[in-house]
Amino acid sequence: MRQTAGRLNRTWLAVIGLVTLVLGIAGILLASGTAGTLAQSSGAGIQAPQPADPALPEGVRDVFAPDIAAVILAVLAVLVGVLALLWLLAQIPRRNQARALRLHGNDGATGYTTCEPKVLTKAVEEETGALSGVTGATALLRGSAAEPELTIDVRVDDRADVQEILEKIHTRVASNLETALETPLRKVAVLFNVTSHRQNDREVVL
Amino acid sequence: MSPKPASPALRRRSSRSLPATFLAVLLLLLAAAATWIGITRITTGAWPPFLAALRQYLASLAWNNPAVWAAAIILTLIGLILLLTAILPGKHNTARIKGPEGADEHFAETAMSRRGVARLAAAHVDQTDGVDASSVKATAKKVDIHVRTPLHEPGNLQEQLTGSLTRKLQDVGLNPVPKVSVRVRTTT
């Protein structure tokens, strides 16, 4: 029901994977000596290191000698660290619920009517929770007052009639919400989860 | 054309959250280590001592050293795995359920979580006469069930369970109906 970072993850996994793959293949080519043969046959005039050459270039020590090298290293490291932290935080699923819905009044002179989605979702949750076979529900309202979208996470017990509950949600719960908002819903998404405990486990209406 | 809905689809492919988290934590640790090394150099004027020993070891390696070979092969494999993880779609996270009659696809979306399908199947199987214990694994396309029965002759328990469970999943409205495979084992 919540939004995840699928596209972001796949993009960065692909980028890092590609870079690692290229480094690995370059290492294999250099270690086996094939890099030298390739460079010679391509005639580009590049001299590739031979397998017996040292892996670390000669000038590495000189590159890191001045003070500025440490500053650059620290700055780059902090940058990478911050990006990695943001990537980590993006893994948290987001609800992305709508902000306060403006129901009436595009003209400020006559006044506004606003409604928090929480008010509406609570009503939806209670109405859905009262249906037979449903042990609980969580609702999310996204979009705007003109184009609202409803997502309900319904927890049913394992003997519930799923199609009947779905029918009631669409005919009763969704249409009640449409009446309250005075607009047709743009999308109604229902996610079923099955719990092992039953509805009305503790009380019996006699 | 109507604008894209604000809600994400209920039925998505895996978001690859686990490998992403692992990589992000790794990058964070490396960045922290590099920051510490850089700050040590700036404040004390000398690189940390373990770096000198590391550099001397690396300088002694030639390209065809076994250690370099191993590192290159490992990097290639890791790169390939990451690339495949990013490109391959992965499993669906939910199973689609057919919506109410006459509802448009874009308007009504209904799904059940994979765990929900598994629990439903487990409850149905456990209530069947002759079943002692069961273990269920469910995806959007397949439901695998292992059943233990105390009966000496299970007879057609397997066909019976497969048939009744497929009917139950059809009644729930799963679309496509997952392929049910039941394996029966007698405990006596």
B149 Rama class: left (phi>0) / alpha (psi -120 to 50) / beta: beta
CB atoms within 10 A of CB B187: 9
Whether A71 contacts B43, CB under 8 Å: no
- What domain range is A45 assigned to? 6-89
The answer to whether B34 contacts A142, with C-beta atoms less than 8 Å apart, is no
Interchain proximity B38–A96, CB inside 8 Å: no
CB contact under 8 A, A158 and B120: yes
DSSP structural state of residue A17: H
Distance between CA atoms of A175 and A185, rounded to whole angstroms? 9
Name the domain boundary from B87, B117, B138: B87
> Which residues fall within 8 angstroms of residue A17, CB to CB, at 6 or more apart?
B78, B79, B80, B81, B82, B83, B84, B85, B86
Looking at the domain assignment, is residue B9 inside a domain? no
Report the share of chain A in percent with pLDDT over 90: 32
Do B64 and A33 make contact, defined as CB atoms within 8 angstroms?
A: yes
Q: What is the pTM of this model?
A: 0.76
HEC secondary structure over A94-113: ECCCCCCEEEECCCHHHCCE
Instruction: Decide if A20 and B82 are in contact by the 8 Å CB cutoff.
Output: yes
Range list of H helices, B64-130: 66-87, 114-126
Residues of chain B positioned with their CB less than 8 A from the CB of A76? 34
Nearest CA in chain B to A53: B62
Residue contact A166–B68, C-beta within 8 A: no
Question: In whole angstroms, what is the distance from residue B42 CA to residue A74 CA?
Answer: 9
SS3 A49: coil
Min Cα distance A204 → chain B (Å) is: 23
State the Cα–Cα distance between residues A57 and A62, nearest whole angstrom.
11
The DSSP 8-state label assigned to residue A58 in this structure reads T
CATH of the domain at B116: 3.30.300.30
Nearest to A28 among B39, B59, B73 (CB): B73
Q: Is residue A69 part of a domain?
A: yes
- What is the per-residue pLDDT for A18? 95
The CATH number of whichever domain residue A114 belongs to comes to 3.30.70.1350
| Alpha carbons A17 and B78: distance in angstroms, whole number | 7
**Predicted pLDDT at A199:** 64
Chain A CB contacts of B172 below 8 Å = 162-163
Is the residue at B40 inside a domain? yes
Number of domains into which chain A is organized: 2
* Residue A117 with chain B: CB contacts under 8 Å: none
One-letter amino acid of A67: D
| DSSP annotation of A169 | I
- Shortest CA distance from B42: residue in chain A: A70
Dihedral of CA A82/A84/A88/A94: which sign?
Answer: positive
Q: Name chain A contacts of B69, Cβ cutoff 8 Å.
A: 27-28, 31
Last residue of a domain, one of B87, B114, B141: B87
Nearest Cα neighbor of B174 from B104, B103, B114, B91 is B114
Report if residue B36 sits inside a domain. Answer: yes
What does the pLDDT look like over A123-164, one tens digit per residue? 999 999 998 889 989 999 988 888 889 999 999 988 888 999
**Contact: A18, B79; criterion CB under 8 Å:** yes
Distance from CA of A29 to the nearest CA of B (A): 9
The pLDDT assigned to B1 comes to 44
A52 and A122 inside one domain: no
State whether B55 and A20 contact (CB < 8 Å): no
Residue B51's pLDDT is 82
Same domain, yes or no, for B80 and B137? no
Closest C-alpha among B62, B88, B79, B3 to residue A57: B62
Report the chain A residue with the minimal C-alpha distance to residue B48. Answer: A70
Domain with B81, as residue range(s), is 17-87
Question: Does any domain span residue A94?
Answer: no
Q: A205 lies in a domain?
A: no
pLDDT of residue A69: 82
The pLDDT assigned to A122 comes to 93
Q: How confident is the model at residue A101 (pLDDT cuts 50, 70, 90)?
A: confident
State how far residue A186 is from chain B, nearest Cα, in angstroms: 6
For chain B, the domain total comes to 2
**Closest partner CB to A10 (pick from B16, B60, B111):** B16
Q: Which two tokens stand for residue A15?
A: 């980028």
Within this chain, do residues B57 and B110 fall inside the same structural domain, yes or no?
A: no
Interface contacts A/B by beta carbons within 8 Å: 271
Binary contact (A78, B112; C-beta < 8 A): no
Q: Which residues in chain B touch residue A170, judged by CB atoms under 8 angstroms apart?
A: 99-100, 103, 108
Task: Identify whether residues B73 and B144 lie together within a single domain.
Answer: no
Average pLDDT rounded to a whole number, residues A55-63: 70
- What is the torsional sign of CA A153, A155, A160, A165? negative
Residue A60 within a domain:
yes
Contacts B30 to A, Cβ<8 Å: 80
What's the confidence (pLDDT) of residue B4? 61
Assess if residue B10 is contained within a domain.
no
Whether the Cβ atoms of residue B54 and residue A111 lie closer than 8 Å to each other: no
Distance CA A39, CA B155 (A): 71
Same domain for A107 and A43, yes or no, is no
The distance of B125 to chain A (nearest Cα, Å) reads 11
Q: How far is B185 from chain A (nearest CA, A)?
A: 25
- Model confidence at A93, pLDDT cuts 50, 70, 90, reads confident
Per run of 10 residues, the mean pLDDT along chain B (length 188 residues) is: 65 85 94 91 83 81 82 94 92 83 77 89 88 87 89 83 91 88 85
Q: Report whether pLDDT(A34) > 50.
A: yes
Q: Are residues B99 and B175 in the same domain?
A: yes
